[in-house]
Chains A and B, each alone.
Chain A
Amino acid sequence: MNYFVKGNPDLCIGCRTCMIGCVVVHEGKHIFEIDPDSYTFHPKLHMVKTARLSVPVQCKHCENPACMAACGVNAIYQEDHRVLIHTETCIGCKACMDACPFGAIDMVTVAGVRQKDGSEKKVANKCDLCQGVAGGPACVRVCPTQALTLVTEEELEDLAKRKRMESARSTFCEVYHCDEFSYGGRE
């Protein structure tokens, strides 16, 4: 099963530390040494704020990705519990962006790469769960309020299990006069 990073609006304070953490880990720490205009700042997650909600939104790493199905050049693939974009192959057709039901993909320029006509190359950009980065997704690590968590298969199953327990308890507890269901049982 693919993993994904989930934001919790009860904990999020909208500070966007996650967005910078994302750029720093993908561009590399050398950005603090170079010309400030020679790298690109394209976070792979976005802070969404409405009247009463603040939460970062990013790719859900779907099991049957609409973006992958829509891609005409096979630039999107699944590997190591995640959905990835091969940016060298990407031709910037925006079909994935259009297909994604969550708005998790945007089109960004690639720093320093020019196309034949001199224009900047543009490719699809989205969360890659910090592939190859020790310690896992940077957004999760830098968030000051622990509002982001990496959801793995085990955690997801555990969550579902807890919810089933809760559902059973609220439905039957009064009838069977028991306060607690224990884990283990027939689950």
Chain B
Amino acid sequence: MSVFDGLRFRRVASPVHILDPRIKFFYVCSIFVVAILFPEILPLIVLFLLQIPFVLIARVQKEWIRSLRGATFLAAIIFGSNIVFRFIYAGYTLILPDLEFALAMTLRFVVLVEAFSVFFLTTSPDHLGLALEQSRVPYEFCFAFTTAVRFVPVLADEAETIMDAQKARGLELEKGNFLKRIRNYIPILIPLIISAIRRSLELAEAMESRAWGAIEKRTNLYVLKMKAGDYLLIAISVSILILGIYLRLHAFIPSLSDLLL
């Protein structure tokens, strides 16, 4: 389950990990917005490179690369479908700008994956729940959210065990045509869903026996406070956002093929 590995949080003492999750989320959103603004490849390359220092400071390079590798399959699909549609649209010829456009779309996806993976790699689920709660989101929603995040790796592990168990009974996942391959996953999905339901019922009982929802107003052991680093990240995010919007409105962005040829 390499896709999930890129989202699995690991506790590291770094300046990025202790940042306020709300600010980190704002940063991710700014990257997101700017990435959506530009269909040209140059600004997307800049956005991609911009995040690398962030990854290095957080010392999550290994996991980060793994999450990018997990995204290659989807990236390939995006690239392929863009190429195919552009190819048909242009009247069955492939021109350089089309290739560049397809590359840009793929890179846009990669930038988004990159940003979210940095966010999830450096933010503990507890921290995230805390941020939601202190943004006045009702506690029920916060709890549901943190629980969902918390159980992703558990489910991934379980899926792996189930796959092993079914393989040991002769199931071959990569056998047969497309439809058969999808059907091959039934023996894996059913036990997985059943165990998830069973687990949720157990969790509900455990919560109730620990007086969940006994009082209206909960108090928190930890309270999020903005620090110097948080203000710096706000400044960076706002600059990215403003610069992005300004360039979009007032600047001409050359394409890579024009620059090179």
Is the A/B pair a real complex? no
Enumerate chain A interface residues (CB-CB to B < 8 A): none
